[in-house]
Amino acid sequence: MTRIVTRASAPADTEALVRHGLHPVLARLYASRGVCQPDEIETGLARLMPPAAMKGVDEAAVLLADALAANRRMLVVADYDCDGATACAVAVRGLRMLGAQIDYLVPNRFEYGYGLTPEIVALATQRREGTPGTFGTQRPELLITVDNGIASVEGVAAANALGIDVLVTDHHLPGDTLPAARAIVNPNQPGCTFESKCIAGVGVMFYVLLALRAELRRRGVFTEARPEPRLDGLLDLVALGTIADVVKLDANNRVLVAQGLQRIRNGRMQPGIAALFRAAGREARTASGFDLGFALGPRLNAAGRLSDMSLGIECLTTDDVGRAWALAQQLDAMNRERREIEAGMQQQALADLADVDPEGTATLTLFNPAWHQGVIGIVAGRLKEKFHRPSFTFALADDGGACVKGSGRSIPGFHLRDAVDLISKREPGLIHKFGGHAMAAGLTIATADVPRFAAAFERVGREWLSAEALARTVETDGDLEDAYFTPDFVEMLDAAVWGQGFPAPMFAGEFEVASQALVKDKHLKLQLLRGRQRFNAIWFNHTESLPQHTTLAYRLVRDTWNGVSRVQLVVEHAAD
């Protein structure tokens, strides 16, 4: 059951924003998202929260400054998703600007799993001639984790035992024990007063660079012959990682994303970012958060899901335009392969659910030994969207079939990591390891224990989720006046920053369906009527027919054909 409702907004806040010069519709959109003061819409760099409040950032700056002064060999240990790849690129590019001798290592998710493990530490110290790297067979003296490390207690201990220092930069929730690193920078660690708790891993690394530059400035490192580097040149990477990791776009994250998008639109971006726009068939000069989240992000993530994220990181770190384009094409091909694998898995998942009535369950758990573990998270997300239930999908781990890896996605009001944590306490020995946050989580269990996990997950779901929570409610921005169905209005909306926690505008209205037909047997193409106006619309991945009179929730996009721009409605939901 889908219920379409309108977000509430305070008229007084809307009026205040209009008086500040904001378009009336934009003012209403901002007010309904909690913006009540005109200065909250400002996205200049001066609006960034200062680094000083981030616990551990000063210690990290001193550690890095000392390492630079001693010309110590640094190695970035990255994660294999888009946030990890961009965070790695920011670390490598930023520290090279400051004179570092630095290289990176990203674990192959299928061979080593997640984070700084003792196995990764061993790998970092066993580099051989011919291995890509800047310091050959010499082992690193300082490891820097990006978008991981807060749970790497054993990995940090292994590095310490070898006399290798570790700097942890992360944004994930910590466990009961923190690793014994030389410095930890994570806004979610105990005692950190930095207000933007939802900053992405790439944002954390950017803040570390800001603090390091300030420390080097205090030490008098910069001179006329060696001027301070412009770190804002890295903000295209920060914007991409922030949007792709689907973190909440609070005021601070909106500044980071807005500044990055501005650089991209002005053509001042890394060669790899430009190449990814080209490979995706998107226009960088009109870049939006939607492009970053749904065009560039998946192409980078495809490398980590199917192969090795080193391809993606090289794309983001190379200054060779030709090399960047070649890598972007490889990533694009991987993304197409990922889509094909995902489509087959999703079809199988839906077939497995054919005899299950989701209305009678609070959660969904599926396992198929033929599934690809790099794509199960996407399939879990698709199931969550279709059935509005917290969902876990499992695939075999690379251990001969004894264990499975699971990836979960959740709905509003159900904190997935907390649910898994509760299951681990209720069912000792069931979950080997887990991690995540409110809307997504991952875990490893024995293959034979999938039914046991499914039952425990369903028990928590029934305890925590009410019938109201399990009924899909779609929040929209209400009706939109006919005068605003114009390309210029869509361009104004696209110029703003939208994302998780600050959702892109979605309107709702009643329409007459003049015609409907399937495109490629999977999308519903529509001609809609309202009054004297006719609208082109499409409902992706839906084949069911609509009644003649219907209420739709939709986004507006610009559709350019033969140089002529028109407005198209992208249907997101139809009221039941």
Task: Concatenate the DSSP letters of all residues of 200-235 into one string.
Answer: -HHHHHHHHHHHHHHHHHHTT---SSSPPP-GGGGH
Cα separation of 568 and 324, whole Å? 33
Region 82-111: mean pLDDT is 92
Measured CA to CA, the distance from residue 175 to residue 63 in angstroms comes to 24
Q: Would you place residue 353 in the very low, low, confident or very high pLDDT band (cuts 50, 70, 90)?
A: confident
Give CA separation, 356 vs 349, 387, 455, 467, in Å: 11, 11, 15, 18
Largest alpha-carbon pair distance within the chain? 75
Cα–Cα distance between 257 and 496 in angstroms, integer? 10
The DSSP element (H or E) to which 87 belongs, if any, is helix 82-97
CA-wise closest residue to 179 among 193, 158, 198:
158
> Does the pLDDT value for residue 134 go beyond 70?
no
Please name each of the domains of the chain with its CATH number.
10-35 (no CATH), 54-333 (3.90.1640.30), 353-471 (3.10.310.30), 474-576 (2.40.50.460)
CA–CA gap between residue 135 and residue 220 (Å, rounded)? 28
In 3-state terms, what secondary structure has residue 512?
Answer: strand
Residue carrying structure tokens 């329409």: 511
Distances (CA, A) of 287 to 218, 265, 276, 291: 37, 6, 12, 6
Q: What is the dihedral of CA 158, 162, 164, 167, to 10 degrees?
A: 10
Angle at the Cα of 221 from the Cα atoms of 219 and 227, rounded to 5 degrees = 135
Across the strands, what pairs with 364?
Answer: 391
Q: Compute the C-alpha angle 341/289/82, nearest 5°.
A: 45
Closest by CA to 171, choosing from 258, 273, 253, 94, is 253
- φ, ψ for residue 108, nearest 5 deg: -75, 120
**Which tops the pLDDT comparison, 134 or 141?**
141
Phi-psi map region of 133: left, alpha, beta (phi>0 left; psi -120 to 50 alpha): left
Q: Identify which of 150, 101, 105, 153 has the alpha carbon closest to the alpha carbon of residue 126.
A: 105
Token duo for residue 329: 């094409």
- pLDDT tens-digit profile of 472-519? 889 999 999 999 999 999 999 999 999 988 999 999 999 999 999 999
Number of C-beta neighbours around residue 555 at 10 A: 17
- Residue (of 460, 411, 465, 402) closest to 432 by Cα position: 402
**Residue 61 and residue 213: Cα distance in Å, rounded?**
8
> What is residue 128's predicted lDDT score, i.e. its pLDDT?
44
Q: Could you report how far apart the first and last alpha carbons of the chain are, in Å?
A: 6
| Percent of the chain predicted with pLDDT > 70 | 98
- pTM (two decimals): 0.89
pLDDT reported for residue 129: 42
Strands (E), 397-453: 403-409, 431-436, 440-446
Over residues 6-21, the pLDDT tens digits come to 999 888 899 999 999 9
Q: What is the rounded distance in angstroms from the CA atom of residue 320 to the CA atom of residue 304?
A: 22
- pLDDT at residue 257 greater than cutoff 60: yes
Residue range 431-486, pLDDT digits in tens: 998 888 788 899 999 999 999 999 999 999 999 999 989 988 899 999 999 999 99
| Residue 250 · residue 273 · CB < 8 Å | no
Torsion angle of C-alpha atoms 493, 495, 501, 503, degrees rounded to 10: 20
Instruction: Among 68-77, 227-236, 536-545, name the one with the lowest average pLDDT.
Output: 536-545
pLDDT band at 130 (very low <50, low <70, confident <90, very high): very low
